[in-house]
Amino acid sequence: DAGVIQSPRHEVTEMGQEVTLRCKPISGHDYLFWYRQTMMRGLELLIYFNNNVPIDDSGMPEDRFSAKMPNASFSTLKIQPSEPRDSAVYFCASSLAGLGMNTEAFFGQGTRLTVV
């Protein structure tokens, strides 16, 4: 497997524009996570899905952020409208589920978002 694949690797956009980040998890993984990493707040969990269903979106900063997982092999994180304070590295990760199983999270390489 190629691992978790995120696109784009870098995104520069103007304030007010819509931004869509994409993620393809590892095939067979039950969980998918979206994280945001900044110097100020470290690694924050934004939302996670289990079997394509959003389980906990309490980390989503505001209504401008939305995430979808239409099928087991694809997820998007959308910011509309984007603001300069959204500038960060966004990671997608996936893992297997269940106690007693190896629940290591596999990360994509991240998308560096810059909003100017």
Look at residues 43, 20, 41 and name the one whose alpha carbon lies nearest to residue 33.
43
R_g of the chain, CA atoms, integer Å: 14
**105 lines the binding site for other proteins (CB under 8 A):** yes
Q: How far is the CB of 80 from other proteins (least distance, A)?
A: 25
Among 8, 10, 98, 116, binds other proteins (CB under 8 A): 98
Of 8 and 16, the one with the shorter C-beta distance to other proteins is 8
38 to 97, contacts with other proteins by CB under 8 A?
42-43, 45, 48, 50, 55-56, 89, 91, 93, 95-97
Which range in 16-24, 66-74, 78-86, 104-112 contacts other proteins by CB under 8 A? 104-112
From residue 3, alpha-carbon distances to 26, 35, 74, 83 in Å are 5, 17, 13, 30
Query: Computed from CA positions of residues 113, 6, 54, 34, in that sequence, does the dihedral angle turn out positive or negative?
Result: negative
